[in-house]
Amino acid sequence: MEGVFELIEKGGVVMYPLIILSILSWVIIIERLFNLRVSNFLPKNIKDIKILIQKGDIEGVHKLTSIGTDPFTTALHATLDEYLKGVKRKPYLISTMESQLSGIVPAVEKNLMLLSAIASIAPLLGLFGTITGLIKVFSAYSAVQTEEAIKLLAGGISEALTAAATGLIVAIPALFAYWLFRSVGNGIISKIEQEAREIISSLE
């Protein structure tokens, strides 16, 4: 704990917002690691649903999806409502299904923009700390004697470099996680769209 306070003291006031951004980014990263999975967006009985549709038991699938609460099951139930009302055109059914599934995208991309913002802001805060540290050095350097000036110079450079390094330490994991989760999220959305199209295509 003393090391943290010592680091804050060395890096100056910008260390406080950087620490807050670091904590926030890791909270988002951990949450996404647990929740950004295909199994959280597709029903566990997706195989049973596909088998029933291939057998032509649309009524059975309609009843089965009526008790589901996940977005995919709800979207499929609404689409089968249209189908059982006599709407058989596949393009329309696919469009209906995709429209119903549009709410999944915000859930997949949850907090990713905030993670991207942290990755952008952290280096700027580090740069700000670098500049303020150097300003302190050169402002004080001209007002004191040589020996003390050297100490101030060393302290100011230490503050500047600590702030810059901390900004990068916060930004790099956040940026890496952003692109990783963006890629995983795109894969999940593609998988959901593929499953939806396969199910609709299986309808007679």
Residue among 51, 76, 72, 50 at smallest CA distance from 62: 76
CB 179 within 8 A of CB 115: no
Looking at 104-145, list the stretches that DSSP marks H as alpha helix, in order from N- to C-terminal side: 104-108, 112-141
DSSP state of 39: G
Q: State residue 2's pLDDT score.
A: 44
- Taking 70 as the pLDDT cut, the residues of the chain under it are 1-11, 139-156, 204
**What are the backbone angles phi and psi of residue 109, rounded to the nearest 5°?**
-95, 15
Give the pLDDT confidence score for residue 73 in this predicted structure: 85
Q: Which two tokens stand for residue 93?
A: 């059914």
Which tens digit of pLDDT belongs to each residue from 63-85? 888 877 788 888 888 888 888 88
Residue 166's alpha-carbon distances to 16, 37, 74, 115, 162, in angstroms, are 11, 31, 45, 16, 6
pTM of the model: 0.80
Residues 6+ apart with CB under 8 A from 120: 171
